[in-house]
């Protein structure tokens, strides 16, 4: 997958989320209902991976409770934006930020207690996003390109007893996500959902227990 180069970003929006202040540039996903679905169900502990960190909001919330957080995003503008927000919200000592494609930039032995992913899921004409912001929603022709790749790779980066929280939409086959997690030996179920105009977004929890 192509990694775009980052020019000087302009932070055109400043938003508040509870006590957090977040700056967002036009090239970065602005937190929305899907972000909030994870945020309101988040009880972070140990070592957390925030996959697709965007503006860094979930990393910041996780860092208040967890020992340490690793934030990954393929969009270099997101990584820059997350760095700024992580600093101004006082948790830069607890979060590492990495630019890259899913688990590719992590060393094989990186094992987490919790993995979060508000995944891109919209079916798109183009196989590859044309601009950095499109990574936020572009799921390839089936809408499942990123989520399927994530499900294949995530279990080996999760501790026994560890938990994955993924947000997904009814637009891209939630049942398949649960089946694919189960095939990988994880116990997956929907723990929360929200109806939007054209879709329902669901929060899926997948646990790796002793039998996995």
Ligand X SMILES: C[S@@+](CC[C@H](N)C(=O)[O-])C[C@H]1O[C@@H](n2cnc3c(N)ncnc32)[C@H](O)[C@@H]1O
Binding stretches for ligand X (CB under 6 A)? 29, 31, 35, 52-54, 57-58, 72-75, 78, 101-102, 118, 120, 135-136, 146
Minimum gap (Å) between residue 132 Cβ and ligand X: 7
In the complex with ligand X, which residue's Cβ is closer, 73 or 180?
A: 73
**What is the distance between the alpha carbons of residues 53 and 41, in angstroms, rounded to a whole number?**
17
Minimum gap (Å) between residue 206 Cβ and ligand X: 17
**What is the distance between the alpha carbons of residues 55 and 211, in angstroms, rounded to a whole number?**
36
Minimum gap (Å) between residue 58 Cβ and ligand X: 5
In the complex with ligand X, which residue's Cβ is closer, 127 or 210?
A: 127
Minimum gap (Å) between residue 188 Cβ and ligand X: 19
Q: Shortest CA distance to 185 belongs to which of 200, 202, 159, 206?
A: 206
Closest-approach residue to ligand X (CB): 52
The token pair at 12 is 């055109």
In the complex with ligand X, which residue's Cβ is closer, 16 or 211?
A: 16
In the complex with ligand X, which residue's Cβ is closer, 54 or 155?
A: 54
Minimum gap (Å) between residue 211 Cβ and ligand X: 29
Return the half-sphere exposure (C-beta side, CA atoms, 13 A cut-off) of residue 152.
8
Q: What angle do CA 136, 50, 13 make, to 5 degrees?
A: 50
Minimum gap (Å) between residue 212 Cβ and ligand X: 24
Q: Shortest CA distance to 79 belongs to which of 108, 59, 94, 65?
A: 59
CB distance 116 to 59 below 8 Å: no
- What are the φ/ψ torsions at residue 107 (nearest 5 degrees)? -75, 150
In the complex with ligand X, which residue's Cβ is closer, 140 or 162?
A: 140
- Dihedral of alpha carbons 77, 82, 83, 88, sign: positive
In the complex with ligand X, which residue's Cβ is closer, 59 or 184?
A: 59
């Amino acid at each position: 997958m192509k990694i775009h180069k980052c020019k000087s970003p302009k932070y055109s929006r400043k938003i508040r989320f509870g006590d957090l202040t977040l700056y967002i540039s036009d090239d970065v996903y602005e937190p929305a209902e899907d972000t909030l679905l994870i945020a309101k169900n988040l009880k972070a502990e140990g070592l957390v991976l925030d996959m697709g960190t965007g503006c860094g909001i979930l990393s910041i919330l996780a860092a208040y409770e967890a020992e340490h957080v690793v934030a990954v995003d393929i969009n270099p503008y997101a990584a820059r934006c997350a760095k700024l927000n992580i600093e101004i919200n006082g948790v830069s000592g607890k979060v590492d930020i990495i630019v890259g494609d899913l688990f590719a930039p992590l060393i094989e032995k990186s094992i987490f207690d919790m993995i979060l992913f508000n995944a891109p899921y919209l079916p798109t004409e183009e196989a590859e996003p044309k601009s950095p912001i499109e990574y936020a929603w572009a799921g390839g022709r089936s809408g499942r390109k990123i989520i399927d790749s994530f499900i294949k790779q995530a279990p080996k980066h999760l501790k026994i007893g560890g938990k994955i929280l993924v947000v997904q939409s009814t637009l891209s086959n939630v049942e398949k996500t649960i089946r694919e997690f189960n095939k990988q030996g994880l116990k997956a179920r929907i723990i929360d959902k929200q109806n939007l105009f054209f879709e329902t977004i669901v929060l899926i929890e997948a646990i790796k227990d002793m039998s996995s």
